[in-house]
Structure 1
Amino acid sequence: MKITAAVVKEKGGSFLLEEMELDQPQPQEVLVRIVATGICHTDMVIRNQQMPAPLPMVLGHEGAGVVEAVGNEVTEVAVGDHVVLTFGYCGKCSSCREGFPTYCEHMLEHNFAGSRPDGSHRIHQHSTPDLHDSFFSQSSFATYAVAHENNTIKVPKDVPLELLGPLGCGIQTGAGAILNSLNVPSGASIAVFGTGAVGLSAIMASRVAGATTIIAVDINDERLALALELGATHTINSKTGNVVEQIQQLTGPGTHFAFDTTGRPEVIRTAVQGLRTHGVCGLVGVTAPDKELSFGPNDIMVAGRTVKGILQGDSVPSIFIPRLIALYQQGQFPFDKLVKFYEFDQINQAAEDSEKGVTIKPVLRIGKV
């Protein structure tokens, strides 16, 4: 079938809306008419080639839409269902079988290879024979996408579908880090470094978890003000002085937890040093391959601290995404306050606004419900 999709053809290039052809779904795949798709930092990372992935490629990995057709082996969704598309995973390796699909042993093949794991392609364009697709097993910067049954999550029809795409990656990453990975208990203290979509989702989730001291750290006063609105109890502008000293002034010995969304080694060092004894620091920020962390072993060993890497909030999407929607419906997780909508042909403006920090979570309106 013919579709319109946004393709990036060269490093740092613009998104170009072009006509392409999309295959019908294979036996375990689902054809989804895309209603809206979030723009995530990882889309920019691939466009700018900060992580290895082949170009030209159709990106997009926070899709939400309506099921139009299913393969003959699909059992989890049916035609007409509203769905959110999330990351791909094999479902068969030891990590997947143990309940940790975010650490699938074949994560790269299912999300970054530019094709299905078997090397075949879902999207084709005669003028671009080397076109790559299947980004996060979806490539949802398009009017239609084919995804695997594994990463197609049925959602309720009484919630605005155009709002839900970011739950598939950025928002589930921030919230899942708090509720799944760090398992922050009621009464705990936490410092969240970076108040983009992931960090603000973590702040909202910290309030849901019952944390009583929630410190937002950033250099953007407008974002810090929003953090207070969404659940932070304190804010620190890191330009105003020693962050560790300010954390200790608020908490005494330091926080029970820290959460870094920036990927900046100097910020991670501060996050670790601001922990109390037995504190845990979670890391989700994408860091350039040539960057290294630098802090003394005693910062970890003497205080019994832990540094924990986190992917996709350690979530099982079919369980966690509906949980976040339920919290949103109850007024406990107002992630809609992060979203600004753009039309599909405004994709380059949306990407620019995201990179400049003008918009926290851009969402592209692509089709109708």
Structure 2
Amino acid sequence: MRAAVFRGSSSPVAVEEVQLAAPGPGEVRVRIAAAGVCHSDLHVRQGDWQLPTPLILGHEGSGVILETGAGVDDLAVGDHVVLSWVAPCGTCRPCTLGQPVRCLTAANVVAPGGVLNDGTSRLTVDGQRAYHYLGVSSYAEEAVVPASGAIKIRADAPLEPLALVGCAVATGVGAVRNSASVPPGAHVVVVGCGGVGLSIVQGARLAGAERIIAVDLRREKTSLAARLGATDEIDGSAGDVVETLRTLLPDGADFAFDAIGGATTTRQCIDMIGVGGTVVVVGIPRAGTQVTFEPQTLVDFDQRIIGSNYGGIDPHRDIPQLVDLYMSGDLFLDELISARRPLDEAGQSLDDLAAGATLRQLLIP
């Protein structure tokens, strides 16, 4: 098959011929319909995170089951699926406690990475072992993934836009619903209006938030946020963002979501919350990024700083629900897609993402 191969930050991402082995026990082979281009892929390309190479990029995607491995009885050839980069084992302590997003087996797949749940790879390039990215590797014509990471969805839903549900949308909406439990009437600020940030905006709207304030350096992104549910916009390039927020919400926000994950934006979110407020760090920073704050302030004002990994979702529960919300017209996905591109443009799509000019791009094998 053809796949986008990453060989190191000093080499361009290029589409090559790659060998994909048949699925092993508990695995499935999927024909990729679409793969989303995410900042997590960009972090790898930029060398922010160290992973084994050669690596097949991509962790957000959708497709159709082509083949099932031994022991797979809940999926069949022809099923439509959204790929989840957390493929819960179902047997570790977090899984048995109903917290599959914290699965210990999946955590070992994510870091140090490069393998599937059994610790091995199904990929070969030029006779050399190649590696999976986050257990998915969706920048390819096909993928072999753990069956628990292939989430069956309704067959009448269009597969291309639903690729976004596998990461950006689940992460953003889930951060509101699961990690923060935003109640109706809340005042929410979202810093960063890319695919994840715009999904946070939609999650806040679905939760019944009273004020949703969108912050970004690009006016076109905050304008889109307003169409998706934001009540106010802040131009992040004009003046002091925290001061502007405080003019809109003198008592501060109840929830401040950092959809970027940078030292500056997390610090801004800390300064934006009021009494009882919560900062939710959703965007993933470069390794080693540090932010300072005063613990006394957190105690005095009963504030919280929390992280949200993959929106705290249960993939088998939340992904089909998000698909239903899209099909009912309550969740907007098509508006998040700025381009559909052939697989050969994977490298260029990452360049465009780095430039900040795009929302979610889809690679269509």
Q: Same fold (TM over 0.5)?
A: yes
Letter in 2 for 1:234: D
Structure-to-structure mapping, 1:180-219, within 5 angstroms: 180-219=178-217
CA deviation digits over 1:225-248, x for unaligned, max 9?
111111100011133223233222
Query: Do the aligned partners of residues 118 and 152 (structure 1) sit closer, same or farther apart at CA in structure 2, a change above 3 Å counting?
Result: closer
Q: Distance in 2 between matches of 1:12 and 1:251?
A: 45
Q: Are the equivalent residues in 2 in contact too, given 1:192–1:260 (CA < 8 A)?
A: yes
Which residue matches 1:254? Answer: 252
Give 1:161's match in structure 2, choosing from 147, 159, 163: 159
Moved over 6 A (4+): none
Give 2:171's match in structure 1, choosing from 170, 173, 176: 173
| 3-state secondary structure, aligned to 1:345 | helix
Extract unaligned runs of 5+ from structure 2: none
| 3-state secondary structure, aligned to 2:318 | helix
Which residue matches 1:294? Answer: 292
Count the aligned residue pairs: 362
Which residue matches 1:124? Answer: 124
Q: Does 1:43 align with 2:33?
A: no
Q: Does 1:58 align with 2:68?
A: no
Which residue matches 2:325? Answer: 327
The alpha-carbon deviation at position 107 of structure 1 amounts to: 3.3
Extract unaligned runs of 5+ from structure 1: none
Q: Are the equivalent residues in 2 in contact too, given 1:67–1:82 (CA < 8 A)?
A: yes
Which residue matches 2:342? Answer: 343
Structure-to-structure mapping, 1:1-369, within 5 angstroms: 3-87=1-85, 88-112=87-111, 113-125=113-125, 127=126, 129-133=128-132, 135-339=133-337, 340-366=339-365
Q: Which piece of structure 1 moves more, 308-317 or 252-261?
A: 252-261
Q: Distance in 1 between matches of 2:11 and 2:97?
A: 40
Letter in 2 for 1:155: I
Letter in 2 for 1:97: T
Query: Do the aligned partners of residues 52 and 99 (structure 1) sit closer, same or farther apart at CA in structure 2, a change above 3 Å counting?
Result: farther
Q: Are the equivalent residues in 1 in contact too, given 2:106–2:117 (CA < 8 A)?
A: no
The alpha-carbon deviation at position 22 of structure 1 amounts to: 1.0
CA deviation digits over 1:68-124, x for unaligned, max 9?
111121122111001111113332221122222222223342234212344422011
Q: Distance in 1 between matches of 2:356 and 2:127?
A: 33
Q: Are the equivalent residues in 1 in contact too, given 2:43–2:286 (CA < 8 A)?
A: no
Q: Are the equivalent residues in 1 in contact too, given 2:4–2:344 (CA < 8 A)?
A: no
Q: Distance in 1 between matches of 2:177 and 2:23?
A: 34
CA deviation digits over 1:246-290, x for unaligned, max 9?
222222311111100111122212211211111111111212223
Letter in 2 for 1:213: R
Q: Distance in 1 between matches of 2:134 and 2:34?
A: 16
The alpha-carbon deviation at position 128 of structure 1 amounts to: 5.0
Q: Distance in 2 between matches of 1:71 and 1:238?
A: 49
Q: Distance in 2 between matches of 1:302 and 1:13?
A: 50
Q: Which piece of structure 1 moves more, 229-238 or 12-21?
A: 12-21
Query: Do the aligned partners of residues 128 and 296 (structure 1) sit closer, same or farther apart at CA in structure 2, a change above 3 Å counting?
Result: farther
| 3-state secondary structure, aligned to 1:140 | coil
The alpha-carbon deviation at position 137 of structure 1 amounts to: 1.6
Q: Are the equivalent residues in 2 in contact too, given 1:86–1:136 (CA < 8 A)?
A: no
Q: Distance in 2 between matches of 1:168 and 1:247?
A: 32
CA deviation digits over 1:209-235, x for unaligned, max 9?
110100011111111111111110001
Query: For the aligned residues, what is the CA RMSD?
Result: 1.5
The alpha-carbon deviation at position 49 of structure 1 amounts to: 2.1
% of aligned pairs identical? 36
| 3-state secondary structure, aligned to 1:110 | helix
Q: Distance in 1 between matches of 2:127 and 2:4?
A: 13
Q: Are the equivalent residues in 2 in contact too, given 1:34–1:66 (CA < 8 A)?
A: yes
Query: Do the aligned partners of residues 240 and 298 (structure 1) sit closer, same or farther apart at CA in structure 2, a change above 3 Å counting?
Result: farther
Q: Distance in 2 between matches of 1:9 and 1:188?
A: 46
Letter in 1 for 2:124: H
Q: Which piece of structure 1 moves more, 291-300 or 111-120?
A: 111-120
| 3-state secondary structure, aligned to 1:132 | strand
Letter in 1 for 2:266: I
